[in-house]
Amino acid sequence: MNDPDPPTTAQFTSATVVIPVVTETDSLDETARLLAESSDGDISQVLVVVCERTTAPSLARCEALRQTFGDRVQIHRQKLPFLGGALREAFDLATGSHVVMMASDLETDPRLVPAFVALARVHPSAIVTASRWAPGGGFSGYGRARVAANWMFQRLTSILYRTPLTDATFGYRLFPTALVQAIRWEGTRHEFLLETVLKPLRLGVEVLEIPTAWRPRPDGESQNSLATQARYVKTLVTHRRQPTSTMLRSAPPAMTS
């Protein structure tokens, strides 16, 4: 029995931008400003995901995004837990031909979205991901030990998955919407960011990289603890062993905001 093929996408028409928010305020405002300045014409939906821990000041900033994007803004209160749960629900709510997964803390530079879109127009069925290790990328304020550990993990990923991909853990990516709505996702914490590239790689999806420079968030609190990062190794091994026949959903998503 042949394994099922992932869906393909004929063309890029518009982007759904997914932005999870917990404690971000000024950085969320700046993210919105830069998105509107650089990519307004390509964005059809701004999907803001909040949770029970999202602070009142952050919720107020989320509502204020309507001043920038109007009725394109959709605020969704997540039901599944943690970052992975937020993104999984957002994927199912996306209406654009493609989904941009990014942060609200400026660690993911909004000015890169035009580069994502340019590649998606040429390779509409591919994933486009930002890489801190690609030529022209880099780290600022990350710490030598963390940079070294990150490099070793990226090399391990490259070897295990037989891919030239240089950065599998950075959560700044553009996906074809049909693809993310077809895959059976499992993770709920930050290791989900790794899952979003490992399963597509196993399914034979093309992944393209653009360089990015990482800088620490200017405000808000990081939700990515060391305990969470330790789950990355389990995720790496689990999805290498997982049969590809189990990676796609048997039915399309049925999700309402």
**What's the domain range around 56?**
15-246
pLDDT reported for residue 220: 59
Give the contacts of 221 (CB within 8 A, at least 6 positions apart). 22, 23
Is residue 256 a part of any domain in this protein? no
Is residue 8 a part of any domain in this protein? no
pLDDT reported for residue 110: 98
Strand partners, 17: 46, 100
Q: How many domains are there within the chain?
A: 1
Is residue 255 a part of any domain in this protein? no
Is residue 207 a part of any domain in this protein? yes
131 φ, ψ (degrees, to nearest 5): -125, 130
Strand partners, 207: 127
pLDDT reported for residue 253: 73
CA distance 99 to 182: 13
Is residue 221 a part of any domain in this protein? yes
pLDDT reported for residue 239: 98
User: How far apart, in Å, are the Cα atoms of 134 and each of 117, 120, 151, 217?
Assistant: 18, 18, 12, 21
> Tens of pLDDT along the chain (257 residues)?
567 799 999 999 999 999 999 999 999 999 999 999 999 999 999 999 999 999 999 999 999 999 999 999 999 999 999 999 999 999 999 999 999 999 999 999 999 999 999 999 999 999 999 999 999 999 998 889 999 999 999 999 999 999 999 999 999 999 999 999 999 999 999 999 999 999 999 999 999 999 999 988 777 565 555 666 678 999 999 999 999 999 999 876 766 55
User: What is residue 44's three-state secondary structure?
Assistant: strand
Is residue 253 a part of any domain in this protein? no
Is residue 19 a part of any domain in this protein? yes
CA distance 113 to 91: 18
- Please, what's the b/e burial string for 38-65 (b: 16 or more CB within 10 A of its CB; e: otherwise)? bbeebbbbbbbbbbeebbeebeebbeeb
Is residue 254 a part of any domain in this protein? no
pLDDT reported for residue 3: 74
Q: pTM for this structure?
A: 0.94
CATH of the domain at 165: 3.90.550.10
